[in-house]
């Protein structure tokens, strides 16, 4: 029996203030539904017959249902059966949290996620050992790699059906645990920023004058968001252990000034005091005594001088589908042709 796959598609990602102050994209509901249909077609081609899907009131499910009906009317069956999760819809991030938890309990083999860094963080908080396959549809998409959704669906199908060995099919990922007064309050997949403003407000970070400290799981100069600051200072890959810590300030303070893309189309001048590696498993205590904590680009937690804050990076915290590895293996072993791979003669 083929394993089931979960799909969580956020209908409201990429709608924060960064769309106003920059040029961030906003995929329409029909576009998101078309992405889901492309993923479904690829999954079915790998033998997946059942998919659990998070219900929502944005209209993605209705568009997907129409796509399935059109295919059936033409006598085609290119898609798995869709099973909406039996859960209430609140229209908030609580839906994503609950859906990920329900899918984990249902025993899905993987969860395909449509959204930005925040949506993926919400899924990882509850998916446990279930691997995630990310598709970027948010404002800042540092965590989910940019790739055609059909390929992501294909790799996921090949991985969970065992056609690609597990040591190639899945990759380990890092995260940062944020502890407030001795207990884990939240997690971050990409970055944690300490800002001087205690008011959470619009949540999304876009005013660099309040940035003070930055902690990242990986530092990639090709991404946008807070992690871009670290990536342009000292790259750290997703695969290597540990991350990077950067102390920030205002450009007027005489610090080194770095220009970084902190949102789509938004270049900001940021003062950099210093930076150093953040080893895994070592708690870091921020120097900022009061303010707010932004997780993957969004302010989530306000804290005062009376609170105890510490940050710890964890290696091997959760798994993702290794899309590139799956597709390379599929090509080398001709998984999609049915023909055997050529035997290389011994030298």
SS3 for 231-258, per residue?
HCCCCECCCCCCEEEEEEECHHHCCEEE
Question: Cβ(260)–Cβ(268) under 8 Å?
Answer: yes
So what's the pLDDT on residue 33? 94
Q: Distance between CA 100 and CA 207 in Å, rounded?
A: 32
CB atoms within 10 A of CB 37: 22
Output the average pLDDT for the chain: 88
So what's the pLDDT on residue 16? 45
Comparing CA positions, the residue from 26, 16, 28, 92 lying closest to residue 56 is 92
Percent of the chain whose predicted confidence (pLDDT) is above 70: 89
Q: Distance between CA 113 and CA 202 in Å, rounded?
A: 24
Q: pLDDT (tens digit, 9 = 90+) per residue, 77-93?
A: 789 999 999 999 999 99
pTM for this model (two decimals): 0.90
Distances (CA, A) of 44 to 28, 37, 159, 168: 25, 11, 13, 21
Q: Distance between CA 83 and CA 76 in Å, rounded?
A: 19
Comparing CA positions, the residue from 186, 185, 192, 271 lying closest to residue 227 is 192
Helices 29-45 and 60-73 cross at an angle (nearest 10°) of: 50
Question: Cβ(324)–Cβ(134) under 8 Å?
Answer: no
Q: Is 190 left (phi over 0), alpha (psi -120 to 50) or beta?
A: alpha
So what's the pLDDT on residue 22? 46
- Distance from the Cα of residue 196 to its chain's centroid: 26
Domains of the chain: 5-173+317-332 (3.40.50), 175-316 (no CATH)
Q: Distance between CA 106 and CA 129 in Å, rounded?
A: 13
User: What is the sign, positive or negative, of the torsion defined by CA atoms of 161, 162, 164, 165?
Assistant: positive
CB atoms within 10 A of CB 331: 12
Q: pLDDT (tens digit, 9 = 90+) per residue, 301-346?
A: 889 999 999 999 999 999 999 999 999 999 999 999 875 555 444 4
Q: pLDDT (tens digit, 9 = 90+) per residue, 121-131?
A: 999 999 999 99
Q: pLDDT (tens digit, 9 = 90+) per residue, 204-244?
A: 555 677 789 999 999 999 988 888 999 999 999 999 999 99
């Amino acid at each position: 029996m083929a394993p089931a796959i979960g799909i969580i598609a956020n209908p409201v990602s990429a709608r924060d203030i960064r769309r106003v102050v920059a040029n961030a994209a906003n995929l329409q509901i029909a576009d998101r539904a078309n992405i889901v249909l492309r993923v479904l077609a690829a999954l079915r081609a790998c033998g997946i017959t059942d998919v659990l899907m998070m219900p929502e009131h944005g209209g993605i499910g209705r568009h997907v249902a129409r796509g399935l009906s059109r295919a059936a009317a033409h006598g085609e069956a290119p898609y798995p059966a869709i099973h909406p999760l039996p859960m209430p819809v609140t229209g908030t991030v609580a839906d994503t949290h609950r859906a990920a938890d329900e899918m984990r309990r249902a025993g899905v083999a993987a969860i395909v996620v449509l959204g930005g860094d925040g949506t993926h963080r919400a899924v990882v908080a509850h998916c446990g050992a279930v691997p995630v396959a990310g598709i970027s549809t948010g404002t800042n998409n540092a965590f989910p790699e940019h790739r055609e959704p059909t390929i992501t669906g294909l790799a996921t199908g090949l991985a969970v059906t065992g056609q690609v060995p597990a040591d190639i099919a899945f990759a380990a990922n890092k995260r940062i645990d944020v502890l407030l007064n001795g207990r884990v309050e939240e997690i971050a997949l990409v970055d944690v920023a300490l800002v001087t403003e205690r008011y959470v407000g619009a949540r999304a970070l876009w005013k660099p004058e309040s940035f003070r400290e930055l902690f990242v799981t990986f530092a990639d100069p090709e991404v946008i968001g807070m992690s871009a600051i670290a990536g342009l200072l000292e790259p750290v890959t997703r695969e290597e252990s540990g991350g990077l810590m950067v102390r920030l300030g205002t450009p007027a303070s005489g610090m080194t000034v770095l220009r970084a893309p902190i949102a789509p189309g938004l270049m900001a001048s940021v003062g950099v005091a210093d930076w150093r590696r953040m080893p895994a498993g070592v708690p870091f205590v921020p120097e900022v005594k009061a303010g707010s904590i932004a997780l993957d680009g969004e302010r989530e937690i306000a804290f005062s001088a009376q609170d105890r804050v510490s940050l710890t990076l964890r290696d091997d915290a959760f798994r993702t589908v290794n899309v590139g590895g799956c597709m390379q293996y599929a090509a080398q072993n001709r998984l999609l042709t049915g023909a055997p791979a050529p035997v290389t003669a011994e030298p």
